[in-house]
Structure 1
Amino acid sequence: MSNTANNLTDLTIMEITMKKIIFATLLMVFASTQVFAQTPSQGLPTTNIMVLVKMKSDVQRPENFGEVMQEEVRETVKLYLGGKISQWFFRGDGGGVVFILNATSIEEAKTAISALPLGQRGMVTADYIPLQPMAPLGALIAPPM
């Protein structure tokens, strides 16, 4: 067999081996994600809280609603500049806003959100979701068995 044929065979074997490794890694990550997605990860710290905030549909808006919103924006910017809000977004479906708070408990996040003008006036609802590190990634850095 010629050197060229040997080189092609070696490349083919390496390519197949790499594809198997990548497939096995992805399978392990996705399979373990499904397992971990069923229950909260025990022992992992909560690093952030995602807060989904929307206006209550049954609340009457005050006549000075524009002023209230200006105050809301000012106070939200203060939370951002103070490091409490890490990220903030408008929801693409028009359903309100999403905050990623630098908080380690839902209670801490509730305190921050309820202190905002709309929260103080009872005009919004909020869902709080604790965020943790992705535990399945640990399988990728574990020593080989």
Structure 2
Amino acid sequence: MADPATAQAQANSPTTTGVMVILTVKAGVTREQVMAVIPAEIRQTVQLYLNGKIREWYSRGDGRGAVFLLDSRDVAEAHTIMDGLPLARQDLIDHEYIAVGPLLPLRLLMTNP
């Protein structure tokens, strides 16, 4: 039988239901470099959306990139998706990956006092 502390930790582990990806244009990359690649980037990004891989997408408020919410099992799958896009293949952007899931404290509402 499992150790109760281990079982409790597993019950409280977050479930990954998606991955947020924050894209930032690399320092020193010019607007012209990005714009030369952007038509292909847009086409492939739209195709990912139509294939159900991108759930939501936003422009960053600072104008330096975008934020995607991917329908992904884990960060490794998200890397594979994003690494296939033209801006990443040409090494023009950085990515930050954050696994997300249901808000953990809500589980407390489901337990008996």
TM class by shorter chain equals: 0.7 to 0.9
Q: Which residue of 1 aligns with 2:29?
A: 59
| Structure (1/2) with the larger helix percentage | 1
2:20, 2:68 within 8 Å by CA — same for their partners in 1? Answer: yes
Partner-residue secondary structure (3-state), 2:47: helix
Q: How many pairs were matched up?
A: 103
1:44 aligns with 2:14: yes
Which one of the candidate residues 39, 46, 59 is aligned to 1:90? 59
- Once the two structures are aligned, what percentage of the paired residues are identical? 38
Larger relative contact order (CA 8 Å, sep ≥ 6): 2
Which one of the candidate residues 81, 95, 102 is aligned to 1:112? 81
Bigger radius of gyration among the two: 1
CA distance in 2 between counterparts of 1:98 and 1:118 reads 14
CA distance in 1 between counterparts of 2:12 and 2:96 reads 21
RMSD: 2.0
The 1:45–1:61 alpha-carbon spacing in structure 2 relative to 1, beyond 3 Å, is same
CA distance in 2 between counterparts of 1:135 and 1:61 reads 40
TM superposition shift of 1:43? 3.1
Give the TM-score, by structure 2 length: 0.80
CA distance in 1 between counterparts of 2:30 and 2:12 reads 42
2:21, 2:97 within 8 Å by CA — same for their partners in 1? Answer: yes
Which one of the candidate residues 76, 81, 84 is aligned to 2:50? 81
TM superposition shift of 1:99? 0.2
- Return 5+ residue gaps in structure 1 as ranges: 1-40
Q: Which residue of 2 aligns with 1:36?
A: none
Amino acid paired to 1:141: M
* CA distances 1:19-51 after superposition (whole Å, capped 9, x unpaired): xxxxxxxxxxxxxxxxxxxxxx95332110000
